[in-house]
């Protein structure tokens, strides 16, 4: 269902009326399109403290490769990158304020503010305190900056390992990711031959691909060059065939809860196996716990969590995922924050986050495979169109960007996690929620 309020505030009379009434003013976000695949304009590069990322092959070189014009001063930057990895005490923390205070007002609409921080694993409690302080700073700035601008904190030690992440965040692909703290390890990364086709020659399987977010994920991975295997229930076979056909992929009509689902997936894969596994299929059966019969509990846990565990195990133990592979599961902000009427759904989605945290280090150590999750907030799909009007309208507006996300926002985030150069991003649960007030 279209967001009529967002369309209305995009017109001159709509803007006038809603301003006069003091109503929210969401900004139409700049998203990726083939005609406008990247931002154009200036990137303002600032720093606080003495950065360990400086150096000939350091952060400046990576930023220069994003295609934006990197400047130390800018009247109207489309993005600001503040390197705060050198913030170690209260005085250097004050440099964060001093650097951003004069420029926040000048950032372009639908632009980006990215703060770079150091990992929190220091024994120096002064440094730990001021590095943790950056989280409160970033989340607060995300809530107040407005005009469709997103604010993100990246914790890193190696700018090259963060290149795919910086390119994602400094592009229209990350329009609905805000208020997030993302950690990047110092993995060895190899740049793809073509940054526009990073998944060329790779195979991706997407569950629940017949519609909604899964369809968008399959389309986005195919855009990035992947051969896609689209999986959905036999009841959705017609839609599934149509999606797979349009993307030049293959359709696999299969209920993911079938006990032999893992074996049937393995049989359907090309002989060289899979590079990207996206667990997207999901269902809801909402009721308050007091009214929730086992018939509403079990299927939700089975589709959203048990089948994710089973198919992951089946593929890993049979070597179905190649070295350097990527697993991206779908959590939800309901799983992180809790939601009345969704004890079953939130349990299943919190379980996904637990799976990611535990499996990520071992999968990386044993198979070179990363395991991450996306946690969508309010996304405009058939699932949310079925939500009663008042709750739907609240879901849309209760986030820093004042609007719901689109399936493509989750898909772009998935594609970044699936990127061959994203090997340093592991064990993360990244919310795609416009910085929802739920569980913020």
Q: Supply the residues annotated as catalytic.
A: 345
β-pair type (112-117, 79-86): parallel
The distance of closest approach from Cβ of residue 102 to ligand NAI in the complex, given in angstroms and rounded to an integer, is 38
Residue 84 CA: distances (Å) to CA of 12, 100, 180, 239:
40, 11, 16, 48
The distance of closest approach from Cβ of residue 399 to ligand NAI in the complex, given in angstroms and rounded to an integer, is 12
Handedness of CA 378, 383, 384, 387 (dihedral sign): negative
Q: Toward ligand NAI, which CB reaches closer, 18 or 257?
A: 257
Q: Which residue is nearest to ligand NAI (CB)?
A: 282
Q: Toward ligand NAI, which CB reaches closer, 185 or 214?
A: 214
Cα 129 to chain centroid distance, Å, stands at 27
Binding mask 255-274 for ligand NAI (x = CB under 6 A): xxx-----------------
Query: What burial letters (b/e) apply to 8-30, b meaning 16+ CB within 10 Å?
Result: ebeeeebeeebeeeeeebbbebb
Report 219-248 residues binding ligand NAI (CB under 6 A).
232-233, 236
Distance linking the first and last C-alpha atoms of the chain? 26
3-state secondary structure of 198: coil
The distance of closest approach from Cβ of residue 191 to ligand NAI in the complex, given in angstroms and rounded to an integer, is 30
Does 379 help bind ligand NAI (rule: CB under 6 A)?
Answer: yes
The distance of closest approach from Cβ of residue 294 to ligand NAI in the complex, given in angstroms and rounded to an integer, is 18
Q: Toward ligand NAI, which CB reaches closer, 226 or 346?
A: 346
Instruction: Select from 4-12, 153-161, 313-321, 376-384 the region that touches ligand NAI (CB under 6 A).
Output: 376-384
The distance of closest approach from Cβ of residue 383 to ligand NAI in the complex, given in angstroms and rounded to an integer, is 4
Q: Do residues 182 and 155 touch, judged by C-beta distance below 8 A?
A: yes
| Residue from the set 281, 336, 360, 371 that interacts with ligand NAI by CB under 6 A | 281
Could you give the CA distance from residue 148 to residue 150 in angstroms, rounded to a whole number?
A: 6
Q: What is the H or E stretch that residue 409 is in?
A: helix 407-418
The distance of closest approach from Cβ of residue 387 to ligand NAI in the complex, given in angstroms and rounded to an integer, is 9
Report 188-217 residues binding ligand NAI (CB under 6 A).
207-208, 210-214
Report 344-373 residues binding ligand NAI (CB under 6 A).
none
Could you give the CA distance from residue 227 to residue 243 in angstroms, rounded to a whole number?
A: 13
**Binding residues with ligand NAI: total (CB under 6 A):** 27
Does 312 help bind ligand NAI (rule: CB under 6 A)?
Answer: no
Q: Taking Cα atoms as reference points, which of 347, 313, 318, 317 lies closest to residue 331? A: 347
| Residue from the set 74, 174, 381, 400 that interacts with ligand NAI by CB under 6 A | 381
3-state secondary structure of 336: helix
Residues in contact with ligand NAI by CB under 6 A are: 207-208, 210-214, 232-233, 236, 255-257, 280-283, 303, 330, 332, 376, 378-379, 381-384
């Amino acid at each position: 269902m279209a967001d009529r309020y967002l369309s209305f505030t995009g017109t001159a009379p709509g803007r006038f009326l809603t301003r006069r009434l003091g109503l929210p003013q969401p900004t139409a976000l700049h998203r990726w399109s083939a005609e406008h695949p990247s931002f154009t304009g200036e990137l303002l590069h600032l720093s606080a403290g003495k950065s360990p990322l400086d150096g000939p092959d350091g952060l400046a070189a990576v930023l220069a490769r994003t295609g934006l014009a990197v400047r130390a001063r800018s009247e109207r930057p489309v993005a600001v990158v503040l390197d705060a990895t050198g913030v170690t005490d209260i005085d250097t923390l004050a440099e964060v304020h001093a650097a951003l205070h004069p420029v926040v007002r000048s950032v372009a609409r639908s632009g980006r503010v990215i703060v770079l921080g150091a990992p929190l694993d220091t024994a120096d409690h002064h440094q730990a305190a001021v590095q943790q302080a950056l989280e409160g700073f970033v989340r607060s700035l995300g809530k107040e900056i407005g005009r469709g601008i997103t604010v993100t904190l990246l914790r890193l030690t190696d700018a090259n390992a963060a290149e795919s992440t910086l390119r994602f965040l400094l592009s229209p692909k990350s329009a609905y990711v805000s208020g997030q703290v993302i950690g990047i390890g110092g993995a060895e990364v190899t740049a793809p031959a073509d940054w526009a086709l990073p998944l060329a020659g790779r195979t991706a399987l997407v569950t629940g691909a017949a519609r909604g977010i899964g369809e968008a994920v399959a389309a986005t991975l195919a855009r990035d060059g992947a051969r896609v295997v689209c999986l959905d229930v036999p009841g959705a076979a017609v839609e599934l065939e149509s999606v797979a056909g349009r993307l030049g992929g293959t359709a696999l009509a299969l209920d993911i809860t079938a006990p032999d689902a893992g074996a049937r997936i393995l049989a359907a894969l090309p002989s060289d196996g899979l590079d990207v596994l996206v667990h997207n299929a999901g269902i809801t059966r909402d009721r308050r716990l007091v009214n929730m019969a086992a018939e509403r509990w079990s299927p939700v846990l089975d589709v959203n969590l048990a089948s994710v565990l089973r198919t992951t195990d089946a593929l890993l133990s049979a070597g179905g995922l190649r070295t350097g592979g990527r697993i991206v599961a779908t959590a939800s902000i309901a799983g992180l924050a809790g939601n009345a009427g969704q004890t079953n759904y939130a349990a299943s989605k919190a379980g996904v986050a637990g799976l990611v945290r535990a499996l990520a280090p071992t999968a990386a150590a044993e198979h070179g495979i990363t395991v991450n999750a996306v946690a969508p907030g309010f996304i405009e799909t058939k699932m949310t169109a079925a939500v009663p009007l008042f709750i739907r309208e609240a879901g849309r507006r209760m986030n820093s960007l004042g609007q719901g996300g689109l399936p493509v926002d989750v898909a772009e985030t998935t594609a970044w996690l699936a990127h061959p150069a994203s090997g340093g991003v592991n064990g993360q649960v990244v919310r795609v929620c416009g910085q929802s007030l739920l569980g913020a």
